[in-house]
Structure formats: C-alpha cells, structure tokens
A and B are shown apart, each in its own frame.
Chain A
C-alpha cells in the first residue's frame, strides 16, 4: 500500500512510437471535401486581403487564406476607437470595413489567384438576400475553394438580432447561399448562444458542408476615468488566447454531437500545442487570427512546428489527431 496522500494515477499505456523524420509527416487535411496541404488557415478579418502579410513570407504556404468578409456594397466601417487590449486578448469593432464584393473581385481576388492561393471567401450581410447576392457573384471564380458565411451580423429583418443566434435565421441564410454557391459552404457560428449544437445541426440541415467555430465573443471595456466605453461601438468582439478554452469547448461539443461534420477551429490559437488541442477536440483545420497581429510569421511557424511536434511523437499523419480526446472515464 502506498502511504502517499495522492491517489495513484491510473496506469496509462502511452503509445511509445518511434520518432519520424519531420519530412515524412503528412500534414495534408480535408476540410469539407477540399484538400489542403496543411491544417493552418487564417481567420477572417485578421489577414486583410493577403498582400499585406506577403511582405513577410509567401502566403501560399498556408493551408488556406480566409479573407476579410465582403458585403454586397462597400462599407466604410465604424468610427474609431475600434480596438481595446484586454487581458490575453483584444476587443474590436471594425464594422466590416470592406470595398464591396465587386471591388474585391476586381482588385483583391486577382492577386490571390495569380499567387495560386487557396482562398476561402468570407461573406457577410444584413439580409438573406444580401448573402445570396454575394454568394452568386463568387460563383465559379477560380481560386475560391470554399465560402465561409459570417453569420455574426445583425439581421435587419429581425430587429437587428444576429443571424447566428437564431437557428431558423441561420438556416435561411445557409440555404440561400448553398443554392448560389459552386463550392463548399462553411457556416461561421458564435458561442454566444444557449446551445451551439442545435445551431450547428440547423445549418447542416440547411446544406452547410461544415462549420467554423467560433467567432469572437461579444464583450466590453470601459475607461474607468472618463466613463467612456473603450470602443466607439460600446461592444466589440473579444479574440485572442483569452477565448481559446471557449472555442475548444464549442469544437468538442459539436464534434461529439456531429462527428461527420467538418470543423474549422478558430479562437485564440497561437502555439503548436494550441493547434493540436483544436485538432484533438475535433477540428479538421485551425484558423489563426489575432496571433497574426502579434507575430506576422505565425502561419509558417505553426506549420513547421506542427510537423516537428508530430515527428517527435511518431505521428505519421496529422489527421490521426483529429477528434482524438482520451476520456478520463
């Protein structure tokens, strides 16, 4: 008998696999039927149109580039201040500043096409018709491998309620986009709901080929001296490492309930270990957002790091990690 007050841990048979040559690790993944060379993508709104970060490295190394959301008409966005730093995170309220889908197609997409990037077009709108119109404009464009539907927008037809907070509103948008789109459709969901699984089920029923989990969490900060909100918009989206545990929980819940639905994990990933956590929770690929603000090279650093991490542990294919969570009981 052990005299230790600490209960003995159950003996766990860790698979002792021999380490591999990093070059032999297979980083290829499938996301909603689309083949990606690695599971690292950008997160929408954190990579502008791609050209800005290409000053630092060849952005086509990324598994995919999820571009900033485009809308039917150009949007100037919200007044400043648009950003506030919070513990291990930041709040933003940009207001979807973008040149509009037509200018994006004419100006930004051709550069990405020339470079051979795999583009996930993020679309936003304030009505079902807005979304359908934008999806229609994107139909058949080379280089666009999927459409991500930013459902965290206020629905003007429902008194400004965010689409992603309503299963039926989300369903209507996804069905309309699905009817127009020529590529897989990902529904980007919010964690600011009672039951994310029911929303995920609803969008899959409406034709979504996968889900992106999660968008920013709605938050607020107030300057204690002036009494003013730190953001002009009062509320903003919280991102960064602060939200990672919440994002992981959402990915895990949806993957447990809907194991066949592809998930693009998103929220606070910054290190290789973060990426592995998202994959284990059930994500097929991981979108990196706020980390790019801190480290412009985060994309290639994570791709190389993931390769080494897998090689050291004898994991031959990164897909072996997807959904691999060991139960305590």
Chain B
C-alpha cells in the first residue's frame, strides 16, 4: 500500500488531513441485503474517526466519479490492524461493480473525509439511531463511545428484516437495543421515531446520534428538538468530489442568527447538528417543492 503526501491546511484546522491510497481488498461479503467490503488502509485507519467517509474509485465502464461510503469499522489492533470496512447497497453501476471485487484486488481510496461525530463533553447516555445501511457508521461510533466508558443504547430500523443491518453488533455493544421494521418482520412494527421517547427515558439519554435516510433524520431531529436533546446526524447527499471542490452536495444550514446558508455535506458534514439543518426550507431542493430559480445553469 502506498500513500501520497498529505499536508495540513494553514488557517483551517477544522479540515482534516486525508490521504489517497492504493488499498488491497481483504474481503467482500454479503450481510443481509447489503455488502461489506474490507480493505487494508493503514494511513486511513490511523486518521479515521466515526462519522467520516472514504471515496472509492470504481472501474465500471463509463463511470467517472468516486463513490462515497461511511466508514463502518476500523481495526487498529491485532492481526487486522489497519483495515477499514464499508457497507453498501448495490443500486447502480458503480456499486454493482464493487460487488465483483475479490480479495487481493486493489482499490483507489481517498479518506478519511468530512466532519466526524463529536464526542460528548460530559458522561451522558448516548442513543444511536440508524436506518437501513445508515447503521454502518453508528457501529463504529458505538465501539468508540463504549471505549470511552459511555452508555450506548441503539434503535435500528429498516423497511424489512433483510434490510436491518448490524443486529448482532447492536445487541453486543449497547446496553439496550430496539429494532423496528415497517412491515413488522422483525422487532417492533413501525418506525424508529415510534420508540424513541421510550428508549430516551429508559437510557437516560443525553445525546442522540443518527444516520439514515434524510426523511428519518428530519423526523429524529424534530423529535429531539421537542425533547430538548442535542442531536447529531450524518447525512447522505449526492456528491461528485467528496473533497469540497464541486459544490454539488450542499444542504441548507441555519446559523446562530437564523440565516440559512448552503453548506457542503462533504466538508461541513456529513455529520451536522440536526437542529441546525433547515429541513423545512424547500427553496434548496426538497423533492416535493420546486420553486423557480432565476439563475442560469452553468457553474
């Protein structure tokens, strides 16, 4: 594995120091409806924090852009030291190609990228809420929180049992875990927000971390607002570059004064304060509301 130079940014300590690496694939396996890919990436493993992502170059014909994936696990000790896991759902030519990689193949990986989950400043109960493959970064976060001696509770939700990710890991690392499926095929029938309040009361939750579809993140953020709970969410946005230069992955963020700005999910996120996301602001691209904009199409 080789890694190219990585410099620090003067005047921007908030930016991390990602690397580009050629990484050997160690394993690719099915997990329910998803795929798990493990690769050797020592420099990335050393730098990574929960909530950050890596971007992988894909070799499918005509596919140009890298694909971003949250880091699901990092091994820093033992024989597996320096390995990174990502979880993906095969739903396009790039991810379909990734299902075809084999052990000893090499991948071009850039990372770790983006803002990680901030650790709690005080010893509080942490509730981790994941939807679908959005559970992936929460498993990594849960491990880290447990090492810090913090209580972890988890709510894991999906449409069906096959799309629930990390059931065994969630049970292992959390003090309590609740599972929801929309069709009732496993755990409680319903959505993660249906059980949120009960788990918060039971786990004496002081902070909520969530990752999943944006509709779920919005519902979780709004419920946390009602319960006066701080909430950090990892968003998934369409990205071309993942490194902050293309301005395609923006979402509306409210500043302290209440003004809304479009921020890059790859640089200011993917982990954002759920209370600061202007979920209701449909001017910037909620699929249900299309307001006419007066500007031209060329960037």
Contact = CB atoms under 8 A, between A and B. Distances in A.
B291 interface: yes
Nearest to A237: B298
B247 A97 contact: yes
Contacts of A30: none
B267 interface: yes
A125 B293 CA distance: 16
Contact of A48 (B16, B244, B295): B244
B11 A111 contact: yes
A54 interface: yes
Most chain B CB within a 10 A radius of its CB, from A115, A232, A293? A293
A76 B262 contact: yes
B262 A97 contact: yes
A55 B66 CA distance: 18
A55 B6 contact: yes
A55 B285 CA distance: 30
B293 A54 contact: no
B7 A294 contact: no
Interface in A127-163: 150, 152-154, 160, 162
Nearest to A80: B285
Contacts of B74: none
B243 to A, nearest CB: 5
B296 A95 contact: yes
Contacts of A87: 62
B299 A232 contact: no
Nearest to A83: B248
Contact of B299 (A58, A96, A293, A295): A96
A119 interface: no
A92 B64 contact: no
A88 B248 contact: no
A126 to B, nearest CB: 8
Q: Which of A45, A111, A294 has the most CB of B within 10 A?
A: A294
Contacts of B20: 56, 295-297
B16 A55 contact: yes
Interface stretch (B196-204, B221-229, B233-241): B233-241
Interface residues of B, number: 49
Given A85-B64, A97-B247, A55 B17 contact: yes
A47 interface: yes
Contacts, number: 174
A77 B299 CA distance: 9
Contacts of A292: 241, 245
B119 interface: no
Interface string A280-296: 00000000001011111
A143 B296 CA distance: 29
Contacts of B246: 46, 83, 92, 94, 293
Contacts of A58: 7
Contacts of A153: 296, 298
B243 A52 contact: yes
A218 interface: yes
B262 A55 contact: no
A155 B88 CA distance: 44
Contacts of B10: 54, 111, 114-115
B238 A81 contact: yes
Interface in A80-130: 80-83, 85, 87-90, 92-97, 111, 114-115
Contacts of B219: none
Contact of A79 (B247, B291, B297): B291
Contacts of B17: 55
A82 B66 contact: no
Nearest to A215: B298
A95 B64 contact: no
Identify which of B8, B65, B245, B291 gathers the most chain A CB atoms within 10 Å of its CB: B245
Contact of A296 (B110, B238, B249): B110
Contacts of B91: none
A232 B285 contact: yes
B298 to A, nearest CB: 4
A218 B297 contact: yes
A79 B284 contact: yes
B290 to A, nearest CB: 7
Contacts of B5: 56-57
Contacts of B245: 46-48, 52-53, 292-293
A294 B248 contact: no
Nearest to A92: B299
Nearest to A111: B11
B7 A56 contact: yes
Contacts of A232: 285, 290, 293
B7 A95 contact: no
B157 interface: no
12 contacts: A51-B11, A56-B5, A56-B7, A80-B238, A80-B251, A80-B284, A83-B238, A83-B239, A90-B65, A93-B297, A97-B299, A216-B299
Given A293-B246, A296-B20, 16 more contacts: A48-B245, A52-B267, A53-B243, A55-B7, A55-B8, A55-B18, A69-B299, A79-B291, A87-B62, A90-B240, A94-B247, A152-B296, A154-B295, A240-B64, A290-B64, A296-B110
Interface of B: 4-12, 15-18, 20, 57, 62-66, 110, 237-241, 243-251, 261-262, 267, 283-285, 290-291, 293, 295-299
Q: Which 5 pairs from chain A and chain B are nearest by CB?
A: A79-B285, A94-B299, A80-B285, A83-B248, A52-B244
